[in-house]
Amino acid sequence: RKEVEQDPGPFNVPEGATVAFNCTYSNSASQSFFWYRQDCRKEPKLLMSVYSSGNEDGRFTAQLNRASQYISLLIRDSKLSDSATYLCVVNPSVGSRSASKIIFGSGTRLSIRP
Amino acid sequence: NAGVTQTPKFRVLKTGQSMTLLCAQDMNHEYMYWYRQDPGMGLRLIHYSVGEGTTAKGEVPDGYNVSRLKKQNFLLGLESAAPSQTSVYFCASTQSPHYNEQFFGPGTRLTVL
């Protein structure tokens, strides 16, 4: 089993729809979680951190389910500009050793159609 | 602030040639990383550094060497390029890998013939 797994998609949804992706992780000791967005042929950029209590940033909601070991990203009222690949990132430990343990998922491709 | 910059942006090498990729950051970050990204495989860590003068191996270090002589620069070297090293290389930096985001450079597209 991969340490971090994502459905590669593509998810093809109409503008205005709500879409959600999950990302599962295998290390139950994982401490911090992030969602990054990567546009085609560009570098990844932070979309949002994922907090234990869940967090929302405008149309985006991130949640963490420690019991089932997954994080989720919900996008409401999707826009054409949301078309991108979404990478989940899991950091399994705290401290300097965690520098080498950050794991990126392979990404979920999202395509929003007019 | 320029953030994280990488040079060159594109390069074509022949098998056996050597080259150095340069990463520079102006955010005074302690941690710096080199990743490669291949289709369907996500980002894989090559080498990383937790501070000036330090380097360590990541997940896929073979065929690469690194140096961090100055805090703001992290160099990735390919001593004898192979076609398997054709990839997109991203450099990233962060002040704290646990709490803070990683800032990425724009990438270097390398083709080895």
Q: Which residues from chain A sit within 8 angstroms of residue B10, using beta carbons?
A: none
Confidence band for A95, pLDDT divided at 50, 70 and 90: low
Neighbours of B66 (CB within 10 A): 23
Instruction: Give the pLDDT of residue A11.
Output: 94
Each residue of A36-46: pLDDT tens digit?
999 998 999 99
Query: Are B45 and A98 within 8 A, CB to CB?
Result: no
Residue B56: closest CA among chain A residues belongs to which residue? A100
Please state, rounded to an integer, the average pLDDT across all residues of chain A: 91
Cβ pair B99:A32 closer than 8 A: yes
Could you tell me which chain A residue has the CA closest to the CA of B107?
Answer: A43
Q: Which residue ranges of chain B lie beneath pLDDT 50?
A: none
β-pair partners for B44 = B36
In this complex, the residue of B43, B50, B106 whose CB is nearest that of residue A104 is: B43
Give pLDDT tens digits for A47-85: 999 988 889 999 999 999 999 999 999 999 999 999 999
Residues facing A85 on adjacent strands: A38, A109
Q: Is the peptide bond before A92 cis (omega within 30 degrees of 0)?
A: no
Q: Compute the 3-state secondary structure of chain A and give helix, strand, coil in percent, each to the nearest 5.
A: 5, 50, 40
Asked if the model's pLDDT at residue A93 lies above 70, the reply is no
- Contact between A3 and A25 under an 8 Å Cβ cutoff? The reply is yes
**B80 CB-contact burial (10 Å; exposed 0-12 / middle 13-18 / buried 19+):** exposed
Tell me if chain B has a CB within 8 Å of the CB of A42: yes
Q: Are strands B10-13 and B108-112 parallel, antiparallel or unpaired?
A: parallel
* Per-residue model confidence (pLDDT) at position A28: 86
